[in-house]
Amino acid sequence: MAIERGNVIIVERGRRKERLPGSGLLEGMAVVWRHWQGSFRKNRSFSQIHGTFTLEYPEERPKLPEAYRNMPILLYDEETGHELCTSCFQCQRICPPQVIHMTQAKDPATGKPVPAVAEFVIEYDACMSCGFCAEVCPFDAIKMDHEFELSTADHGSLTVAKEQLNRPIGYYERIAPTMWAEVREQALKKLQGNIKRRPGVLGMAPNLAEKIAARLRELATTAPVEAAPTTPPGPSAPAGRLSPEEKAARLAAIRARNDAAPADAPPPPAPAGARDGHGEPAPSDVPPAVNPADAKAARLAAIRARNAARAQEQAPPEPPAPPASRARTDEPEG
């Protein structure tokens, strides 16, 4: 295979002009003088604009776009105190430099894993700010922060734990209002489903867990004195917005009361005048010592017997049997 090569072109250059010693220094000083002199000029119109424009940092801050990404952070709901992260390990698997490390929380009573994260660590010194973790997170729990002033002489502080990563939802909503509005409804809906599967203070932000635990201990000491409410708090609860600590304490008290209730307690008697599905008076005098299973079987047997009696009454009468005819014989009469 023949490859055609181009011709070599020789360019004749003129003899370099001889320069006096120190002439380059003088030319550089002239450039500095022109820029310094031009700094006193006023930009009275667009035709007179000149020079390089910069921000007077740190007094002036750059306006960052919502999609700006620097380092990952974790979000928690300031209303309930619960973190959005469920330790699904999606961000840890997709991270290219493998700088995300987490541990799933477990129920201390049963030892089973729950949808909450116990430990979450990110190595900021090796993070490449690619944003893959924020894109793959199915619960919108990890987002990219806009904070870029992270320079420090302490290298160990760049390994950031969950306590330093946590940010309230309101913080991210301020820096990226449009992006959070797109996912807010689904994120909070998933969070409410995960809260129901988290016992105690598991899954709560560390800065609120200690306050909530102290509140629970305070309620435990005053529980014998206070009367237990007969119904869970509903719309008639005291007006006002409860703090996350009070909400968590109230939820823990309700769970503890339900766990302490006996499993074989009989169902409450039916109110006076109540009727069942067949229009008959509902049994309301079930003694409290009767086993619920036996009471249910007795009620079922009574309903079946009543239905059988009704069916027998409504059945059409059977036609009478025809009279028996006299048998004919062929023998002659004697």
pLDDT band, residue 276 (cuts 50/70/90): low
Predicted local distance difference test score (pLDDT) of residue 252: 73
Residue 238 has pLDDT above 50, yes or no: no
Is domain 72-195 in CATH 3.40.50.1100, yes or no? no
Higher per-residue pLDDT: 22 or 41: 22
| Lowest-confidence region among 114-118, 126-130, 209-213 | 209-213
Average pLDDT for residues 71-81, to the nearest whole number?
Answer: 93
Residue 106: how many other CB atoms lie within 10 Å: 14
Predicted local distance difference test score (pLDDT) of residue 142: 97
Predicted local distance difference test score (pLDDT) of residue 90: 95
pTM: 0.53
Residue 282 has pLDDT above 60, yes or no: no
Please give the single-letter amino acid code of residue 191. L
Predicted local distance difference test score (pLDDT) of residue 236: 42
Higher per-residue pLDDT: 197 or 45: 197
Predicted local distance difference test score (pLDDT) of residue 303: 82
Average pLDDT for residues 159-173, to the nearest whole number?
Answer: 95
Residue 173 has pLDDT above 90, yes or no: yes
- CB of 204 closer than 8 Å to CB of 248: yes
- Parallel, antiparallel, or unpaired for β 113-123 and 159-160? antiparallel
Name the one residue in this structure whose structure tokens are 């998933």.
Answer: 190
Residue 66 has pLDDT above 90, yes or no: yes
Residue 96 has pLDDT above 80, yes or no: yes
The domain segmentation of the chain, as residue ranges, is 72-195
Predicted local distance difference test score (pLDDT) of residue 184: 95
Please give the single-letter amino acid code of residue 108. P
Predicted local distance difference test score (pLDDT) of residue 307: 82
Structure tokens at 208: 């609120």
Helix H or strand E encompassing 316: none
pLDDT band, residue 228 (cuts 50/70/90): very low
Structure tokens at 5: 């090569």
Average pLDDT for residues 233-257, to the nearest whole number?
Answer: 63
Higher per-residue pLDDT: 259 or 263: 259
| CA 284 to each of CA 258, 264, 280, 288, 298: distance values in angstroms, whole numbers, following the listed order | 24, 18, 12, 11, 13
